[in-house]
Chains A and B, each alone.
Chain A
Amino acid sequence: MEKLNRAKTEVKDIEDMDKGRTWVALLIILLGLGILFFLMAFSITKGAVEIPLSSVWDALFRFDENNTQHLIILDLRTPRVIASALVGAALAVAGAIMQGITRNPMADSGLLGLNAGAGFALSICFAFFPKMKYIQIILFSFLGAAFGAALVNGIASFKRGRATPMRLVLAGAAVSALLSSLSQGIALYFNVAQDIMFWTVGGVAGSNWEQIKIMFPWIIGALIGGVILSRSISISSLGEDVAKGLGLNTTMINVLSSIIVLILAGASVSVVGAVGFVGLIIPHLSRYLIGVDYRRIIPVSAVLGAILVVVADLGARTLNPPFETPIGPLIALVGVPFFLYLARKERRAL
């Protein structure tokens, strides 16, 4: 009897802890959104020209097209800040989903062949169609990302439609290596390696409203999709056998998640280039803060990812004005010490 009671209290303790974690997750999300909003507003005021917060308010609600400050805010800075937030959320969630599905802590969206595919498309653009327009290049590199992802998924599920995590990971690594070697080869042969590098480290500098209008519905839709799938991803992260035993259609979940990751990461990669570290570090951070349940990891990752990229973009603009510091390396340099700390602290793998 005493044993039973003890077991009961233990279960209750665990449930309490779990409840506590849900509250923590909610708190992080709300607090995070607040911080994100504040940071975005702050970020709009900073840059080569300093603009007081009051003009930001004016520009948004009492726009005057003869005022240069208003033009800077509305045409240059606001789209850029919104793009950073979207991209950050998208990359982080894409990374979290990849880590959950493949059960590999090294996985990020690049593993699905997206970055390599986009890079391949870029090198073809630069080598053969040097006169392409900006928006066309972006479209092209999204198609490249889709091509890479399709290749990886196709090969991984070639035999009897079974895309096991292991095969997905290996096919991803091989396809990525193949595509990036091809693009390296093309770039070196046609002497466009340097141009491509400047494009890929460019970051969110060139974002405009047109781009955001295209990106916004897709990214938001895919984020919602990720939240809907999050329960299945949690189960899937327990291992294929357990997931199957619990009645989960793993193949279906893998395919759906791949599509979501493709939309999220493909859209981001075509805008900012291969910023890999966000998708890798943010899910680990979220897991550290709120545990292994993807129902919490995915929304928390979205918020934290958005904050990270907004801050990084702020740094990119203000560190060395009027020049831009590339955003990818910046994120990595800030993220590395932190990630090292987490790696030492981390108690659970996935």
Chain B
Amino acid sequence: MENIKQKNEAYKSKVAKRNITILIICLILLILSFVISMNTGYTKLSPNDTLKTLFGGGSHKEKLILFKLRLPRIVVSILVGMGLSLSGCIIQGISRNPLADPGLLGINAGAGLMVILYVMFFGAKSFLSVFTLPFLALIGAGITAILIYILSYKKGEGVAPLRLILTGIAIQAGISALTTLLVIKLDDTQFDFVANWQAGSIWASNWNFVMTLLPWILILVPYIIMKSRVLDILNLGDELAYSLGTEVERERQLLLGAAVALAASSVSVSGSIGFVGLIAPHLARRLVGPKHRILLPTCALIGAVLVSISDTIAKVIVQPLEIPTGIVVAIVGAPYFLYLLSRNKQ
């Protein structure tokens, strides 16, 4: 008996050690991609110049490039990666469906419809768009998510996962249909703008974007990590969760709300980068297992690494043009994911 207990403890501490190693590796990767991303771009800056500029030195031009252009973009991509991957992790946990992602709550579709309506009425080149578009996208995403929630709510049962999924699919399909009907009517420049938005380009980032996104992340990420035990319990199924004394419906509402807020605020500045929300949770689960206390931080870091590396690649690969980050995310992320899938048994 003692022996078994000891073995169990030993195994547990081994797993914990491994998980922490993985977390640290992710962190190092994130810092690395941060540094590399700062050095790359249309104008080359050496690591030395970058450091000098960061700590107050450097020419005016270098300062401008670093502080006004590169830094905000890097920060936005990291925050977006975190927001979307955490949101995906929660939604997969709640719906208990491995195919679920923030798109399931209609966030991409709702935000996209708003963007198209805006572009139709005010044109793609309107100077207001930098400020109003994220805001409108946020509203569109929020309304859609609320609509899906209301439609899948049933008195006495609350929001059963299967109904949530089906309703999500339906609303998403309906909105995409509307979007397609509208898109055909756009002219060339408008269409280009919308196509780029839908492919997920972190466009025109500045510190304002960081400021709109940061509060959400700062408030919601600790909240979600605090709730990781609840997520574990919800994963067991409604009946078990009830009998363990969880207020299933209420917790689900709160967590869904958090997921929507995270994804909607991220999508509003980045365009739809849906794939991160699908893939990052799976990658994290394959690396550290299903316990949310370790899963959530790993997931956030993986998402951040994925988006920031992809954004760096997007900046340099076809200079001086830029390809939307969302495309690079899928091209970088999918093969790695497929490799893990074909290697691991679980």
Q: Contact residues of A with B, CB < 8 Å?
A: 104-107, 155-156, 158-159, 166-167, 169-171, 173-175, 177-178, 180-182, 184-185, 187-189, 193-194, 197-198, 201, 276-277, 280, 284, 325-326, 328-333, 335-336, 339-340, 342-344, 346, 349
Question: Closest CB-CB distance, B108 to chain A, in whole Å?
Answer: 13
Which 9 pairs across A and B sit closest by C-beta, in order of nearness? A332-B177, A329-B177, A181-B330, A178-B334, A336-B174, A343-B166, A158-B342, A339-B170, A181-B327
Complexed CA–CA distance, A185 and B327 (Å): 6
Closest to B345 in A: A159
Q: Which residues on A sit within 8 Å (CB–CB) of B178?
A: 329, 333
B337 interface residue, CB < 8 Å from A?
yes
Roughly how many angstroms separate A158 CA and B338 CA in the complex, as a whole number?
A: 10
Given A104-B97, A175-B334, A328 and B183 touching (CB < 8 A)?
Answer: no
B70 at the interface (CB under 8 A from A): no
B152 at the interface (CB under 8 A from A): yes
Q: Is the CB of B176 within 8 A of A344?
A: no
Q: Tell me whether B188 is interfacial, beta carbon within 8 Å.
A: yes
Q: Interface residues of B toward A: which range?
A: 35 or more
B281 to chain A, nearest CB (A): 11
**A166-B98, A175-B338, A193-B191 known; A336-B184 Cβ under 8 A:** no
Is B337's CB under 8 angstroms from A174's CB? yes
B167 within 8 A of A: yes
Question: Quick one: which of B154, B177, B321 contacts A328, CB cutoff 8 A?
Answer: B177
Complex contacts, A159 vs chain B, CB 8 Å: 342-343, 345
> Which residues of A have CB within 8 Å of B196?
188
Enumerate chain B residues within 8 angstroms of A180, measured Cβ to Cβ: 330
| Cα separation A193 to B98 with both chains bound (whole Å) | 30
Q: Does the CB pair A105–B335 fall under 8 Å?
A: no
Contact flags B155-171 to A (C-beta < 8 A → 1, else 0)? 00000001101110111
A181-B327, A185-B327, A333-B178 given; A343·B321 CB < 8 A: no
Residues of chain A within 8 A (CB-CB) of B275 are: 177, 181
Interface residues of B in 329-346 (CB under 8 A from A): 329-331, 333-335, 337-338, 341-343, 345
* Bound Cα distance A170, B283 (Å): 11
Given A174-B279, A343-B170, A169 contacting B98 (CB threshold 8 A): yes
Residues of B within 8 A of A197 (CB): 180, 183-184
Contact residues in A for B171 (Cβ distance below 8 Å) = 336, 340
Cβ-defined contact, A171 with B180, below 8 A: no
| 5 new A-B contacts at CB < 8 Å, known A170-B99, A170-B341, A174-B334 | A173-B99, A174-B279, A174-B337, A339-B169, A340-B171
Find out whether the CB atom of A182 lies under 8 angstroms from the CB atom of B331: yes
Nearest residue (CB) in A for B274 is: A177
Q: Is the CB of A167 within 8 A of B166?
A: no
Query: A30 CB to closest chain B CB, in angstroms?
Result: 29
Q: Which residue of A lies closest to B195 (CB)?
A: A193
**Which secondary structure characterizes the binding site on chain A?**
helix
Chain B residues close to A by CB (< 8 Å): 97-100, 151-152, 154, 162-163, 165-167, 169-171, 173-174, 176-178, 180-181, 183-184, 188, 191-192, 195-196, 199, 275, 278-279, 282, 318, 321, 323-324, 326-331, 333-335, 337-338, 341-343, 345
* A-B contact number at CB 8 A: 150
- Which residues of A have CB within 8 Å of B100? 106
Establish whether residues B163 and A343, one from each chain, have CB atoms under 8 Å apart when the complex forms.
Answer: yes
> In the complex, what's the smallest C-beta–C-beta distance from A254 to chain B, in angstroms?
16
A336: chain B residues at CB < 8 Å are: 170-171, 173-174, 177
Contacts of A201 in B (CB 8 A): 180, 184
A138 shortest CB reach to chain B, Å: 21
Q: How far is the CA of A193 from the CA of B170 in the complex (A)?
A: 26
In the complex the two chains form, what is the Cα distance from A277 to B170 in whole Å? Answer: 9
- Which residues of B have CB within 8 Å of A188? 192, 195-196, 199, 323-324, 327
Contact call A170/B98, Cβ cutoff below 8 A: yes
User: Roughly how many angstroms separate A339 CA and B170 CA in the complex, as a whole number?
Assistant: 6
| A253→B9 CA distance, assembly (Å) | 43
Q: Report the Cα distance A173→B282, complex, angstroms.
A: 12
CB-based nearest A residue for B163: A343
| Cβ contact of B191, chosen from A155, A194, A325, cutoff 8 A | A194
Given contacts A106-B97, A332-B173, A349-B162, contact A326 B343 (CB under 8 A): no
CB neighbours of B321 from chain A (8 A): 189
Is A185 within 8 A of B152, CB to CB?
no
- The winner among A180, A284, A340, A346 for most chain B CB atoms within 10 A is A340
Could you say which of A105, A180, A188, A198 has the most chain B C-beta atoms within 10 Å of its C-beta? A188
**Cβ of A344 and Cβ of B327 under 8 Å apart?**
no
Q: Cβ of A189 and Cβ of B170 under 8 Å apart? A: no
Complex-state Cα separation, A166 to B278, whole angstroms = 14
User: Are A178 and B331 in contact, with the CB atoms below 8 A?
Assistant: yes
Contact B199 A333 (CB under 8 A): no
Query: Which of A105, A189, A344, A349 sits near B154, CB closer than 8 Å?
Result: A344
Residues of B within 8 A of A328 (CB): 177, 180
Q: How far is the CA of A284 from the CA of B163 in the complex (A)?
A: 12
Contact across chains for B342 and A339 when beta carbons are under 8 A apart: no
Q: Which residues of A contact B163 (CB under 8 A)?
A: 343-344, 346
- In the complex, 20 of the A-B residue pairs with CB atoms within 8 angstroms, ordered by the A residue number, are A104-B97, A106-B165, A170-B282, A174-B279, A177-B275, A177-B278, A177-B279, A177-B333, A178-B335, A181-B326, A181-B334, A182-B327, A187-B195, A197-B180, A197-B184, A198-B184, A326-B184, A329-B176, A335-B173, A340-B151
Q: Which of B166, B191, B318, B327 contacts A184 (CB 8 A)?
A: B327
Distance to closest chain A CB from B58 (angstroms): 34
Q: How far is the CB of A104 from chain B (nearest CB, A)?
A: 7
Closest Cβ of chain A to B330, distance in Å, is 4
Q: Are B99 and A189 in contact (CB under 8 A)?
A: no
Q: Report the minimum CB–CB distance from A62 to chain B (whole Å).
A: 40
Residues of A within 8 A of B181 (CB): 325-326, 329
With both beta carbons as reference points, the residue of chain B lying nearest to A277 in the complex is identified as B173
Partner of B99, one of A169, A175, A344: A169
A328 nearest CB across to chain B (Å): 7
